């Protein structure tokens, strides 16, 4: 199940990273009109998505490790977002309050999957 969830995360993050480059989906730099994105932000999504996909096809252990690392990193990104508010994180990665809340939600789900989720054995 962790492999499937990592694949889902990976496909969604990769798609989000790609869509962020198209003005139709990110008018004036706001993906779906809500999430502030720029090239750096889109590249982070692409790299994270590709990492999730690679882990998902590798093993459950790799998928669990992905969620552990991803959860911690996105938790830190959310905290940095709170610090920077609407300014780019480190002056590079676009950020706004919608991004912060989404990153917190993603971090919480990932931390649960990485550290607490246990698959039921048949």
Say whether pTM exceeds 0.75.
yes
Give 29's pLDDT tier (boundaries 50, 70, 90).
very high
CA dihedral 68, 74, 104, 40 (to 10 degrees): -150
Give the pLDDT band of residue 10 (cuts 50, 70, 90).
very high
How far apart CA 5 and CA 72 sit, in angstroms, is 17
Answer yes or no: is pLDDT of 54 > 90: yes
**Structure token pair of residue 18:** 């790609």
Q: Coil, strand or helix: which one is 31?
A: strand
């Amino acid at each position: 199940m962790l492999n499937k969830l990592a694949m889902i995360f990976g496909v969604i993050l990769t798609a989000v990273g790609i869509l962020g480059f198209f003005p139709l989906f990110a008018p004036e730099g706001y993906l779906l009109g809500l999430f502030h994105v720029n090239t750096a932000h889109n590249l982070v999504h692409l790299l994270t998505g590709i990492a999730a996909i690679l882990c998902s096809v590798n093993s459950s252990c790799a998928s669990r490790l992905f969620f552990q690392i991803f959860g911690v990193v996105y938790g830190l990104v959310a905290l940095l977002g709170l610090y920077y508010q609407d300014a780019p994180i480190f002056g590079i990665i676009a950020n706004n309050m919608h991004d912060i809340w989404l990153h917190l939600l993603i971090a919480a789900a990932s931390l649960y999957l990485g550290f607490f989720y246990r698959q039921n054995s048949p």
